[in-house]
Structures are given as C-alpha cells and as structure tokens.
Structure 1
Amino acid sequence: MKRIAALILLASMTAKAVAMQPFTISDIRVDGLQRIAAGTVYSYLPVAKGDTLTESNAKQSIKALFDTGFFSDVELERQGDILVIKVVERPSIAKLNIRGNKAIKTDDLKKGLKQIGLVEGDTFDPLALRRVQDELITQYYNRGKYNVSVKTHVTRLDRNRVSLDIVVREGETARIKAINIVGNTAFSDKQIRDGFESDTSNWLSWYTKDDQYSKEKLSGDLKKLDSYYMDRGYADFNVNSTQVMISPDKRKMYITASIKQGEVYKISGVHLLGNLILPEKTIRSLVFMKKGDTFNRYLVEQSKKAIKSVLSNIGYAFAEVQVVPKLDKEKRTADMTFYVKPGKRVYVRRINFQGNTKTQDSVLRREMRQLEGSWYSQAAIDASKRRLQTLGYFKDDVKVDTQRVPGTDDEVDLNVKVEEKSSGSLMFGVGYSQYSGVIFSASVSQNNFLGSGDKFSVAVQKSNYYSQIQLGYVNPYLTDDGVSIGYNATYSKLDYGNTDFANYTNSTRSFSTTIGVPVSEVDRLQFGLGVTSNKINLYPGYSPQQLIDYQNLIGNKTIHSWTGTIGYSRDTRNYYWAPTRGGVESLSVSAALPGSTVQYWKAYYHGNHYWPVGGGFVLLLDGQLGYGKTYGKDKQYDFPFWENYYAGGVQDVRGYQDNTLGPRAYVPAYGYAQPIGGAFKVKGTAQMFLPIPALKDVSTARVAAFVDVGNVYKDYNSFDASQLRASYGLSLQWQAPIGPLVISFAVPFRDQPQDHRYEERLQFTFGNQF
C-alpha cells in the first residue's frame, strides 16, 4: 500500500519536474524541513551539485525521498540553476499509549510494534496503523484470546507531532474443550498426554491455566508427544496433521492431532566412526544402548551429550557428534552410526569478567577452576559457574560465553557475565507472643566487604528476656588455595524471670577463631579454638531445684571454658539463594578442654538436600541431630544445663514458641513446669516448594507446604519416638521491597496438653537490604 501511494503521488507530481528542461545544478535547496536535517535529504538524493538534472534522475530523486518514509509530499522546482526541493514532513510519534491490556505486558506489546516501525520518536506512517492492529491481534491470538479487538486513535499535536492511543479489549480466553489424538493404539490418552501443558478444563485450571489455548503451548506439547513415542521404540513416528477448531462464539477450542504411530524398532547394531580421539572402548562406554535394545531417542541424545562432554573436558570445545539411524522397516530394526567430529583442540587464552562493578576481579578469578593458558574443560567451567553462583553476590545464573579468538583456530576467550545484587543486608526480625512480649532482632552484614569477598557482620537481638550482640569477620582466602580464617566475639544475657522458661540468668562472653581448610571442591574442614565465660544466677524457690543442685555440685556461679572444635561441611547446592538441587551437610564436634570448669563435649549434625521433582516443584528434606555429654573428671555430672539443646520456633519446629519443647522442670512458685532443654535433640523437616504461575525468578518468592517433626530429650537414653512433636503448614519466603520476608502458618499435631500454652501458629520475620 505504501509503495502504491508513493507511485500515485509520484505520477501526479513529476509532470512539473519532467516539464523542466535539463539543466546543470549549481546548488540544491530544501524547503519545508522541520526536524530532519538537510544533510539527511542530500544523502538520499541520486543527484548532487554539478550534475545535470534530467527527466530520469528527477523521477529517481522524488522516488528516493518518498521511500525514506520521512515525507508525505515532495516537489521539485527550478529557480535559475538552483534545484529547489519542497517537502512536507510526516509527523513524529510523541506518545504511544496502550490501554486495556492485561494478559500481555505493555513492554512486550511495544517490542512487537517496534519491529514494524512504530515507536516513540520515529516518523509516523498512517499506513502502519493497520499493521499495528494485525500485529497486536496476532499476539493475542497466540495466547488464545480470539475475542480481542484493537482500536487506534491519532491525535495531532503541535510542532508536527502526533499522539497514538491504542485501546485493547481482550475478551475471554478460549478454553480447550477437547484434545483428540487420532491414530494412537499403543497407549492410553492419559499416558501420552501426561506432561502436556495444554489440557481440558479441570478443577485446577483456575491455577494452572492449562485449559487456555496457546499456539506455543500446543507446539511444545506436540514435541513432547513425538518424544514420548520416540523414547519407546517408535522410530518412524510422525505427526501427520494438526487441526485447531474454534466455536462460533470464539470461546471453545477443539484440538485434533493425527499421528502415524508406526512400529517398535530394535537396535541391530551400534557403530562408531570419525576421529574418536579416545580409545574406542572409552567412547563406546558412553553410548547408552546396545544391540537388541529397544530404540530410544532419549538415550541417543544422552549418548551424544556424553561423548561431547568427555571430549569438551579435554580441550575439544566444539566437538560434534552426528547420529545416523538406518531403519529396516521389514525387520523393524535400527542400525545406529555415531560420527564423531572433535574439531580442533583449543585452550583458553583469556578469561574476561563483565558486570562486576563492586566485586574485584581477583575475588571472581580465585573461584575459577578453568584457568587461562590451559586446555578448555567444560567440567572446569561448570564447576566455576557453580562456585560463583553459590557466593551469593549475583542475581540469576552466571553466564559463560565461549568466543573464538580471531585469526586462530586453537584459542578461545571466556566471557563471564554476572549481575551483582546487594551482598550486604540490614535485617530486622519482629515477633510477639503473650509470654515473650516483643522480640526484636537486627543485623548488619556484608558478605562481600568492599568487594574483597571478606564477610563482616554485626548482629543484635533483644526481647524482654534475651539480649545479644555478636561481631563476626571471615577472610575466605587467607591463602591462595582457599584456607580461611574467621573471628567471632559474642556478649549475651538471658533473663528468663518474666517468661515461662526456667527462671535464671546467664551472662555469656566468648571469643573464638576458626580455620577452614578445603578438602575438595565441595568439602571443607574447620578447626576452632575459643574461650567462654558464663555467669549464672539462680533463685531458690523460683528456679528449678535440679538446676540449683547442679550449680551447687560444681560450686561455681561463673563457668570458664576453653573450647576446641573440629567440623566438616559439604555444599553441593546449585544456588546460594533458593537452591533447586544439591544440599548442605555439616558435622561439628566441640569440647570444653581440660582446665575448664566443667568438661563436656557436643556433637551436632545438620543436613539437607533439594530435589527437583518436575513441574516446578522442589522437595527439601532437612534433618538435625545434637548430642552432648560430660567426660573425664566430670563424667559423673549431667550435661551442663546452660549448654542444652532446645527445639521449637520459626526456624525449628514451627507452630511452637522458640525453645519451648523438650524436658521441663516443675516450679511450685509458678505452678507449672518450665522448659529447660536437653542433651539430645532430633528434628526433621519435609518441605515441598510449590511453583508460582508467571514467576520467572523463583529466588524472589517461594511458597512451601511443610511438615516439621522434632523434640529435645534429657539424654540419648531418654529418647522416645512417641514424644516427638510435629506440625504442618504453609510458609512464604519473599524478597519483598522491605527485604526478605518469611511468614509461616503452622498447625501443631502429636502435641500434649501441656504444649498448648506454647503454641504460636503464625510466625514471621522480615528484613531490609541495602
């Protein structure tokens, strides 16, 4: 249409230009310009000063200027030997407003309009309005909204500008009423449609939106259908045709796919050709099929990946593996040939980091397991990515691009792209219960102090019975090979006099230092030494008598301890925040060494693991075990009560107040038993993280259903599974604008009547990041 209109204008306007006698152009003047520079016009003209204007190049000049799209009218005139070009500029688009869109974001719609040349600041072409409607309607059709209407309105503004208003009425989304697979005899419809994103309306459709038709979803489902058959031996399976019918009211969709099922094929042979690089026996061990097996395309693809992976780990970054199946339709066999093309072996010339505005290059480089000047290794690159992602400094995935070095065929550069996020945080936690009152906590931490990778933290907690201040500093790379050193200083004071806990006060001062030694990429040993002073005050008649008796036995109100610690940790998580696979395990044993007021030891284990279970669901299993006992000259004593384990709380067995589960001691002055903790703790959690529709970044928010089980016992011999407490509920973790927010609603079960006073179903913490 645009070209036809231009030709019509050209035909009507060139008569005057043609009527001019040829002449030599002494100068060129352009009249009518407002926004466009004269130099722009000159750059499109096929003639210049000194040329002879003829009928032919006059027509070419007018056509060239119309083709720019800048002008709605062009005339050529002669004043003496001066060529005068009179133009009327098309208006520019000052504003582009889109209203009424809900299903598709405005930014996404504007991207589509930009592709057809409609964007703020550009020249307005009235003929583009029809294309605008077609483009937007196409986008909505692809999302199953066939009742959509798009209307446009142009408002003239001053200075030759226009404002475009696009009003969208989306209408109802078409719902899938039937999905028919014609030609299937081997499997049930339920089997072959398992995993489809498209489905007919069901009781979960309000949440999953699976009954809303989408061209993209249907295309993906057909690929899954193809894979289902190919992975089960149907090597000549094919989708013959697909029909999508819509009801007259455009609200119901009927999908029919006609398939050629074919027959099941067996593997008649597996051959390896090409430059294998490694011994044939090694490569053959990476092929997950053998003669007599049922054809399985998934195993074919996995075999290709395995071969490429092994070759990429020894420098062949661009290795290719092609698989050619030869089908014998009479015998129903498939003869498989793997062609290996390793390409040139390459090494890494340079590693470049991009996006780290705060973090020093050296902090990132020390996490890299792929080194400059060494052979390319995909395994080393993957390990490097994992280590960078688990630092907690960056958003989303760390991306590593491999780029060939120009002029060479055996060198590559690695571009490591990161997006930094706040590694420092100012965290606040606020809670309330009728027994503990307001509980306030705050911490300032920086996991990447001044971009050095060092960790620094100050934490304060305060309630009507508890106060603490803690300072911590860790240098994760005291040495180049990853030996770390950390320091921790703590002062705390517990006064349980106004609570339902055992009534005593404990003022603690401690200082410790810890050395960490890497054992492997994911394993680490820790060695620590510290000194602690506890001043304990008990109150006859108001404190549990068994605590008073214990203090009288040791004969001191102030307890001094020299503490040695050895620990082991293993971290295989794929992300620091919101992991979806892998886990963390830690085991520590600490002891109050000879010379301490009371000699005792404690062992504590904590392990968890994440499993993706499909559909965006992630399962987390978490377990804790703690045990303590006296030894040496003090082995006749019970485990010191101020070192007891406790259970219950928002970070423990949810649904109960902090530290209220386990042994209790009756105090006549109060008329009830008070929690005193114990020397043996067991706790387990099963938690299922649920997918949140339309949420691309799962690290911003997570919802989980959980079951917590646990308790504390006087000692190991007192363990009784029937006394385990449990709760179930829902938990929300959200990276809110005010900072991380965690809300849990838990319902206790397997509880005892005496537990009811400690139940606290709604628990939350929130924070603020900087």
Structure 2
Amino acid sequence: MTIKRLVAAMWLASASASVLAEQSFTVQDIQVEGLQRVALGAALNNLPFNIGDTVTEYTLSKSIKTLYAAGHFDEITVLRDGNAIIYRVKERPTINAVEFDGNKDIKEEQLQESLTNQKIIVGEQLDKTIIRELENGLTEFFHGVGKYNAKVEIKLTYLPRNRVNLKLEFKEGDAASVRQINIVGNELFSDEEIMKDIESMVDLPWWRFMSSDRYQKDTLKGDLEKIRSYYLDRGYLRFDIEANTVAVSPDKNSVYVTLQVKEGVQYNIKGIEFVGDLIGQDELIKAMLPLKDGQLYNGALVTYTEESIAKFLASFGYANSKVRTSTNINDDTKEVALSINVDPGKRVYVNRISVTGNAATKDEVIRREMRQMEGSWLSNDRLEMSKLFIQRLPYIEKVEFETKDVPGVDDKVDVTFKIKERPSGSFNAGVSFGSYQGLAFQFGVEQQSFLGSGNSAGISFNTNKYQKSVNLSFTDPYFTLDGVSLGGSVFYSDFDGSRAGLEAYNQKSYGTGVNFGYPLNDFNRLNFGANVVWNEINSIQEFDQIRHFRGVLIDSANPDAAYKFTNYELLAGWVMSTLNRGTFPTDGTYLGANIKVTTPNSDLTYFKTNFEARHYIPLSSDHGWSFLSKLELGYGNGYGDNNGYDHTLPFNDSFYAGGQNFRGFENRVIGPRAVYRYVNAIPGLPDPFNGTSTGGLPNSAKYDTYQVSRRSFGGNAMAIGTLELITPTPFLKEDYANSVRTSLFVDAGNVWDTEFDINRYTGLTQALDSSYYQPGLLDYSDAGMMRASAGLTVQWISPMGPLTFSLAKILRKYEGDEQENFSFNIGTTF
C-alpha cells in the first residue's frame, strides 16, 4: 500500500499516535491492524465516526481517546492513506496465570478477592497501568499491620500469543513492636490506669498471653476508642484526643506512640426525656432504664440503654428500629440533659422460612425446634432461640440464619436457616492400656437420628473383654406436637467383673422398659420410666461387704446356688439445659438429677440417685476459648430388710470411677476394695488311732484375720469434680472448629461406701499373700480420700463416631490405685 500522507505522531497516556492534517476530509475506509483477540466490529463500535462521515484532527484525536477507554489496547497509532484511516494497535496481553509467593499475613483468598476487584482475572486482559497502584496498595496494607520493611513486587512473564503470567512476590519481614506509648495531658488518671485494657501494649503481663505488642493501625484505632470510652464512662463528656503521633524507628522495627489528651471535667445527668414512638410500652421501657436523673454521666450505660430498647422493640417485631441519644450540655452547671429518640419503624413480619444444608435430616425435624413462626412478626429473640434448639440436636454441627427483604414489600422478610450436619449414626470403639488391666478393647453401634427422622433407633450393641450387651430401643422425642417423648427398650447383658478389674463375679441380666418425657418449658424437662429386670449372679467371691446382699438373697436349702432376683424399677429425672450446643457446647448450664427406686415387691429394695452439673463460660468472643466446671454426685442405699438383714445398694449397681469419668486412673479402679474375713479355728481332739485332729471349733472373733483385695467393687456414694480449659486446636482449619475439641483438665473426686465400718476389723491381723496387693486397711467410708489427675484431652466427632485421646498424669492417689496414662476411645459420650 502506498502511504500518501503520514500524520505526525500523537501520543496519549503510554502510547503514541500520528498527527493528522488539520483540514477535514470524508472517510472512505477504516482499517485496524494488529488485532488478535479483539473482534474488528468491537473495535469499530468504539469509534465516534463511520465511513462517509467528515472528520477533522479533533475527531481523530477523540477517536484515540475512545479506543483507549474501551480498555483493549496498550498502544494505538493512527495513519491516513488518502481518505482511508488506519489504526495500528497493540492489544493488552491476556492474563494466563496468577501466582503468589511469600505471603503470610494475607491469605490467598483475600488476595484473589482484591485482584478480582481490580479486574485482574485469569482469562481477562491486563491493564498494566494499575500494577504500580496495586503494589502500593499492598505495601500500604503491610504498613498498616506494622510491617514497615515489607516489599511487594509484581513480576510479568510474557508468553506466546500475547499472554502473560503474573507473580506477586512478598517480602513481609517482621512486624514492628510497640516500644513505648506516651500519654501527654492526663492528670486525673495514670498511664497504667488508662492503658490497662488496650491491645497495643509493651511489656505485656503474663496473663495477657493472647495479646501481642505488634503494632497495627486498626488495633491502635480501637485502643483510642477504648481510652475515649474510659473517660466517657466516668462522666468526662468533653474528653478529647487532640493528637496522636506514630513515630517509626530508623530500622523500622519499633514504633513510638504519643497521645495528646484533654481530660475536661465530669458531668451529671440533669433530666431524661423520650422522643418518638414507644409502641405503647412507655412504662415498661422507662422502668428498665438504667440511667437515673442526677447520676454521673456514663457512656457505657447510654449505649447499653440504646441497645436494650432496640432489642426490646425487636421482640415485638420492630426489627429495624433506631434508638439515638442526643445530649444538651450545660458547661456552666456541668450537667447534661439526655434526649432518647426512639423510631421503631415498621413492624416486620416473617413471610417464609426455609431450611438448607440438611441432606440427611428431614425438614420437619428441624422445623419442630423453631420458635419463630411464619406469618408472625420477626423477633430476633425467637430466631436466636430457634438457632439454639436446632444446634442442641446431637446430629447438628452448626446453624446460621439470615433474613432477606421480600422484593417490593417493606414490612416482610424471608428467613433461611443454614444447617451443617454431623453423622447421626456411628459405631463406638475403644482401646486403652493400663498398668494393671493391660490392653482393653470395646466395640458398639448406635443410631441417633434414624433415617433422618430425629428418632433415636435402638440398634446398639457392645462387646469388650468384660461385657457383651445388646440394647434394642426406640425413642420419639416428639411423640406429641408439644414435645412429649415416648420410648421403649429391650436389653441383655453378660458381665464378667474379674475381667473389668472388679472383684470376681458373673452377672447375666435382661429386661424391658418404657420411658416418657414432659417439657415444662424451653429449658426444663421431666422424664419418667419403668423397667423390669431379671438378674442372675454366680461365681461370686463372698467378701465381707456383701454379707447383707447374701443374707437377703441366699437360698437356705441350696446356699451354693446362684443369686437370682427380679427388680421392678421406677425412674424419674429432671433436666435443665441452657447449653448453646448439643455437642461440644461452649456456653450455658446443664443440670440433671435422676432417681431410680425399686418397688417394694422387688427382690431387692433400694434407691439410687445421680446429679450432674456443667457450666461453660466463654473466654473469647468466638468461643474458641472457654472454661468448663463440672460436678457429678451420686448416692444409693437400700430400704427395708429381709431375714434380719438390711437391704443395701447392690454391689453390682455401685458407683465407679476411673477411665472415662476419671482420666489417668484405670477403669473402675477408684473406690472401696473387697475385704475378706477368715475365721480362725480351735483344733479338735486328737484321733486315738492316728493322732490327727478330728476337726475344730471357731475361735473368738477377735482372732479372725482379713485380706484386702487389689480389686474394687465400687461404692454407694460418689463425688467427682472437673475443671477444663477448652482451647483452640493448633494447626486446625476453622472449618473443623466445631468438630474437634482440645482441652486441659483437672479431675478430682472419690467413690466411697457409707456402710463400711472399719471398726469391724480393729485388732484383727492382716493375712498378707502374694495374690493380694494392698497392705493395711483404709477407711472406705471416708469421703475425704480424694484422688486427682491432670492432663490433655483431644476429642473429634469423626465420620465414624466420637473419638477421644487422653493423656493424663495422676496428682494424688492411694495404695492400690492403678494408673492409665493414655487412653483412646471412639464413641465416648460428651
């Protein structure tokens, strides 16, 4: 092509363009050279003229600006060949890949979001003009978190077909520490008083181990608000931070903060008035007001008042209320008048409630726990209560809800509950190792929400080295719509006490039962039940403490026969729970009391009571840290008598401690030991034929001997206390925070026998034998024989069931207590 006239170069931004003749002419042709990915039509559509139009230098200059604005080109040159216009362009490269290297403080997800906002997206064209801006923005971010040595560089690698790779290289360095904070102008309060709760601290005390002396701009900003609130909460309404200066050391490793404050004087409240609509609840709102006329102004109380009124209005459906307090300050009298403006807005109603995320659990199981109903006014209290009750279901891991406005309607919202389930069916297994019992195993299966119905299906069985059991049960927690539960069970058990670390006996029992529960309110429930149980005990070693048990059941015609007895049991219980979750709670209280009584027509008449209290206190806003205090109490005894023997709590129904309920000690090892008492005999007369004795007669009881077994048989009283510090699990992603729990614990307690009388053995001689372990005799009726242990526990709700690792050390024990430093269980009840 012959170029008739070359227009002088005209560059805009980073590109150049030729200067055209000043005279106008009519365009006969438009050509664009250098297009690769951009379509010709897309380029021509951005031109302000078409073929046949008359153009001038100004028109061509404007066309270049228009093409640049389209965002497709890095360089544009315009030429004229007669009445034809030729644009030579260089397209912006297409982003092939984005790579990050060296970033620690900023997660890749945050970086990707930032790049997307800057329109740096794989597959899109790259605007190189924002590279420097992006580098500066990221560097500024690091300066904001105290990393003044940080550097960010974006490297471009050009590829064939006009593609480019971006690599963001980060050299973060160490964060600068707050080396000194100076407060200038404070006379009423010392620096220590003002700064005792701030986060930007130097020389942190040991109990502030969760804080850091690392400088961060946002942290300092929050600390300034804390200092301001410190004064406002004490009536200093005119307090002001007139200046704050942050100086960085030459090596950029330290910062020095200086605050210039003006304290002012205190102001008292002089008059409180309400302005606006109190929805007819004037007296109630005024009664709940914590602010009083004449008291010292308190900024925290003012904020609390606003939040309380807004929350109160929200319980009546006014979800978008606005409560603001304005002040009228009299500097002469040092008084302030408060005007509380209340705008409830429109009452908001719930249009529709939907549930998502419940793949296994039926909608109705979730909905029956809700306290917020469709068609009623929106109440945040009822929404939170709904979340609480859903979250307390053992097969629900996490619950969140959100509200969305109904399009075109200003007084209705839709509510969505987002559910994250955990497995409802599980098998439980355990492996533990102790110095006495050795290696122990157990295995079982259970189902908490059968076919997603919320009903507990009884398909559980257990087998380990000392017990085989089967339990077929079914419980419907909503047998009636108002929450009355109904269930039943059939069970069988074969137990070998000697293999369980107890005194030797074999027990077979089977029975059936029915139970139902009645809710008193949202937090309290009564439970009742009845069982009939058939028992057979044989191969028992007759130790001294079961003389009453033996005396009640012995068959005088066949004293060596097995003990067979039938009990008719009545059960009652009360549960109060404000826990925030059914599994792994972090806040709230649980109280539970149960009693079991056998009826007078039972072969053994006795009662057994249990009490459990758990209280969780969150230590951090996200509940990652929390504190648990737990108390378990138990007591049982008999009533009535038979054959001159008082009924007692049967030894096979005793309380035990050790293993899962007292970590660090072997299973069932804590408690009274069996005492065997032997009668000495006086030799009989010699046989006149061979000189041997012909028999003997019992000697006086004071010549009896006794032996103490190394095995426990339990007691009729128990008290165990636990303190646990629940901590975030190290190296674990936030997604698993509700599935894994790590805690440091201290267990302390005892099991004892209130019927044990150590005076029965006063003056008797202990017969020592290699098969008997414990020298001496302890007073097993002494409740003060406390044991203690401490350690670490990690619990995981795995797909196969709850899994627990415990590592413990005994702090206090008594002769005969066996330790179990490590245990591992699947299926532990939390």
Q: Select 1:111's aligned residue among 106, 110, 113.
A: 113
Distance in 1, Cα, partners of 2:194 & 2:730: 24
Which residue number corresponds to residue 191 of structure 1? 193
Correspondence 1:356-505 to 2 at 5 A: 356-401=358-403, 403-456=404-457, 458-498=459-499, 500-505=501-506
Letter in 2 for 1:641: F
Report the CA distance between 1:744 and its aligned residue: 3.3
Q: Is the 8 A contact 2:596 2:609 kept in 1?
A: yes
Which residue number corresponds to residue 819 of structure 2? 759
Letter in 1 for 2:629: L
Distance in 2, Cα, partners of 1:549 & 1:603: 21
Q: Select 1:565's aligned residue among 571, 582, 603.
A: 571
Correspondence 1:25-64 to 2 at 5 A: 32-37=34-39, 40-41=42-43, 44-47=46-49, 58-64=60-66
Q: Select 1:23's aligned residue among 21, 24, 27.
A: 27
2:723 corresponds to 1:682: no
SS state at 2:386 partner: helix
Distance in 2, Cα, partners of 1:551 & 1:707: 39
Between 375-384 and 301-310, report the one with greater CA deviation.
375-384
Q: Is the 8 A contact 2:198 2:226 kept in 1?
A: yes
Letter in 2 for 1:236: R
Distance in 2, Cα, partners of 1:146 & 1:736: 44
SS state at 2:749 partner: strand
SS state at 1:7 partner: coil
Cα shift readout 1:377-435 (whole Å, capped 9, x = no counterpart): 3332222222122224545452232x443444443333333344444445443221233
Q: Is the 8 A contact 2:445 2:460 kept in 1?
A: yes
Distance in 2, Cα, partners of 1:168 & 1:410: 49
Q: Select 1:714's aligned residue among 753, 776, 786.
A: 753
2:641 corresponds to 1:641: no
Q: Is the 8 A contact 1:626 1:681 kept in 2?
A: yes
Note closer, same or farther for the CA distance 1:649–1:753 as it changes in structure 2 (3 Å cut).
Answer: same
Report the CA distance between 1:298 and its aligned residue: 1.1
Correspondence 1:560-639 to 2 at 5 A: 560-613=566-619, 617-632=625-640, 636-639=646-649
Correspondence 1:230-245 to 2 at 5 A: 230-245=232-247
Distance in 1, Cα, partners of 2:522 & 2:41: 62
Q: Select 2:808's aligned residue among 723, 746, 751.
A: 746
Distance in 2, Cα, partners of 1:278 & 1:224: 36
Which residue number corresponds to residue 12 of structure 2? 7
SS state at 2:536 partner: strand
Report the CA distance between 1:675 and its aligned residue: 0.3
Cα shift readout 1:20-65 (whole Å, capped 9, x = no counterpart): 942367xx77665444455654664545688776655544443333
Q: Is the 8 A contact 1:392 1:576 kept in 2?
A: yes
Which residue number corresponds to residue 665 of structure 1? 674
Note closer, same or farther for the CA distance 1:273–1:205 as it changes in structure 2 (3 Å cut).
Answer: closer
Report the CA distance between 1:679 and its aligned residue: 1.5
Report the CA distance between 1:498 and its aligned residue: 4.3
Distance in 2, Cα, partners of 1:243 & 1:345: 47
Answer with 1 or 2: which has the greater Rg.
2
| Aligned residue pairs, count | 756
Report the CA distance between 1:283 and its aligned residue: 1.8
Report the CA distance between 1:502 and its aligned residue: 0.7
Distance in 1, Cα, partners of 2:527 & 2:344: 43
Letter in 1 for 2:453: S
Distance in 2, Cα, partners of 1:215 & 1:738: 46
TM-score, reference length from structure 2: 0.83
Note closer, same or farther for the CA distance 1:704–1:95 as it changes in structure 2 (3 Å cut).
Answer: same
Distance in 2, Cα, partners of 1:314 & 1:179: 47
Q: Is the 8 A contact 1:268 1:291 kept in 2?
A: yes
Note closer, same or farther for the CA distance 1:768–1:631 as it changes in structure 2 (3 Å cut).
Answer: closer
SS state at 2:746 partner: strand
Q: Is the 8 A contact 1:538 1:548 kept in 2?
A: no
2:665 corresponds to 1:656: yes
Distance in 1, Cα, partners of 2:146 & 2:571: 62
SS state at 1:418 partner: strand
Letter in 2 for 1:657: E
Cα shift readout 1:578-611 (whole Å, capped 9, x = no counterpart): 3332121111122233443322222111111112
Q: Is the 8 A contact 1:438 1:463 kept in 2?
A: no
Report the CA distance between 1:546 and its aligned residue: 4.2
Q: Select 1:151's aligned residue among 150, 153, 169.
A: 153
Note closer, same or farther for the CA distance 1:265–1:458 as it changes in structure 2 (3 Å cut).
Answer: farther
Note closer, same or farther for the CA distance 1:111–1:719 as it changes in structure 2 (3 Å cut).
Answer: farther
Q: Select 2:319's aligned residue among 317, 320, 326.
A: 317
Distance in 2, Cα, partners of 1:693 & 1:753: 38
Letter in 1 for 2:266: V
Cα shift readout 1:481-525 (whole Å, capped 9, x = no counterpart): 222223444433322334642111223334333212221111112
Unaligned runs of 5+ in 2: 1-9, 555-561, 678-705, 757-779
Letter in 1 for 2:592: S
Cα shift readout 1:726-750 (whole Å, capped 9, x = no counterpart): 2233434456798755333333334
Note closer, same or farther for the CA distance 1:228–1:557 as it changes in structure 2 (3 Å cut).
Answer: same
Cα shift readout 1:539-581 (whole Å, capped 9, x = no counterpart): 44xx635447734641353333332212111110123333332
Letter in 2 for 1:12: A
Note closer, same or farther for the CA distance 1:690–1:420 as it changes in structure 2 (3 Å cut).
Answer: closer
Distance in 2, Cα, partners of 1:203 & 1:432: 41
Cα shift readout 1:155-192 (whole Å, capped 9, x = no counterpart): 22233322222222222221111122222222233322
Q: Is the 8 A contact 1:496 1:505 kept in 2?
A: yes
Distance in 2, Cα, partners of 1:307 & 1:242: 35
Letter in 2 for 1:765: N
Letter in 2 for 1:262: G
Distance in 2, Cα, partners of 1:204 & 1:108: 33
Between 493-502 and 286-295, report the one with greater CA deviation.
493-502
Letter in 2 for 1:544: F
Note closer, same or farther for the CA distance 1:539–1:247 as it changes in structure 2 (3 Å cut).
Answer: same
Between 344-353 and 292-301, report the one with greater CA deviation.
344-353
Q: Which has the higher contact order (CA 8 A, sep 6+)?
A: 2
SS state at 1:208 partner: coil
Between 514-523 and 449-458, report the one with greater CA deviation.
449-458
Report the CA distance between 1:262 and its aligned residue: 1.7
SS state at 2:223 partner: helix
Q: Is the 8 A contact 1:197 1:217 kept in 2?
A: yes
Report the CA distance between 1:336 and its aligned residue: 0.9
TM-score, reference length from structure 1: 0.89
Note closer, same or farther for the CA distance 1:452–1:265 as it changes in structure 2 (3 Å cut).
Answer: same
Q: Is the 8 A contact 2:750 2:784 kept in 1?
A: no
Note closer, same or farther for the CA distance 1:164–1:636 as it changes in structure 2 (3 Å cut).
Answer: same
Distance in 2, Cα, partners of 1:627 & 1:361: 42
Between 159-168 and 446-455, report the one with greater CA deviation.
446-455
